[in-house]
């Protein structure tokens, strides 16, 4: 019972600062994509990004822990299209997860994932799935490491990276849950839509997402 109460308290703590204005979060997502994908030898390998089917950007995932750990973040997805723009209008997702163990502390982490194949796209466009259980996710290689690891990482449905306090690394995110952010989608588009409806149609991107779409167009 004490674990449940502690976990609920932590979730409220990490969720509160994440409930920010959409415009700010969209701009943060654009910045995260630009900086993590454009970091050269220390960033996401361009050959993997070029082969990706979709991109997921979740800025400032909040984590907190005191015996029971919790994490929460909100971000955006976009998938490649045949349109001149090259990328679909953005959908919205939440990442949630928890862990139990001897731990204390807190952090704020930017997360970027790329979807590498059609199976991964189907998982991403479902209402909810668990990374590592429902969908195969692997820690993405950084910079020059990609040459040696491409064969192994290409077998994963998704590759993931994180950035915390300036440290950039691949991350597996095992056990975290990714789900559609219904309230964010409705806020962006003014109606109830699914991520599948957004990214598989020719729906125009919201004005608020212009910075993010501009960042995506470079890749």
pLDDT in tens, 173-193: 777 888 999 999 999 999 999
Q: Which among 114, 116, 80, 111 is positioned nearest to 94, based on CA atoms?
A: 111
Assess contact for 150 and 44: CB atoms under 8 A: no
137-158 pLDDT, tens digit per residue, is 787 877 655 554 555 456 788 8
31 contact partners, CB below 8 Å, separation of at least 6:
59, 215
Instruction: Record the pTM.
Output: 0.79
Beta strands in 37-191 (DSSP E): 54-79, 91-115, 128-130, 137-139, 158-164, 167-170, 177-180
Q: What single-letter DSSP state applies at residue 212?
A: H
Average pLDDT value for residue range 52-58: 94
The phi and psi torsions of 33 (rounded to 5 degrees) equal -60, -45
Name which residue leads in pLDDT, 165 or 199.
199
- CA-to-CA distance for 70 and 62, rounded, in angstroms? 8
Both tokens assigned to 52: 């990706």
Cα angle 107, 58, 176; round to 5: 70
């Amino acid at each position: 019972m004490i674990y449940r109460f502690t976990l609920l308290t932590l979730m409220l703590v990490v969720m509160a600062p994440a409930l920010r204005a959409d415009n700010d979060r969209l701009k943060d997502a654009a910045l995260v994509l630009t900086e993590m994908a454009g970091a050269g030898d220390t960033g996401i390998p361009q050959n993997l990004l070029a082969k990706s089917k979709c991109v997921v950007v979740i800025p400032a995932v909040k984590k907190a822990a005191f015996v029971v750990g919790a994490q929460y973040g909100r971000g955006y997805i976009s998938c490649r299209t045949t349109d001149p723009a090259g990328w679909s209008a953005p959908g919205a997702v939440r990442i949630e997860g928890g862990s139990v163990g001897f731990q204390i502390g807190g952090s704020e982490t930017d997360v970027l994932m790329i979807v590498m194949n059609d199976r991964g796209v189907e998982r991403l466009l479902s209402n909810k799935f668990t990374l590592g259980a429902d969908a195969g996710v692997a820690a993405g290689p950084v910079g020059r490491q990609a040459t040696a690891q491409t064969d192994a990482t290409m077998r994963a449905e998704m590759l993931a990276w994180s950035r915390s306090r300036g440290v950039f690394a691949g991350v597996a995110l095992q056990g975290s849950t990714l789900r559609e952010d219904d309230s964010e989608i409705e806020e962006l588009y003014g109606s109830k839509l699914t991520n599948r409806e957004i990214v598989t149609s020719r729906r125009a991107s919201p004005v608020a997402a212009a910075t993010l779409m501009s960042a995506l167009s470079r890749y």
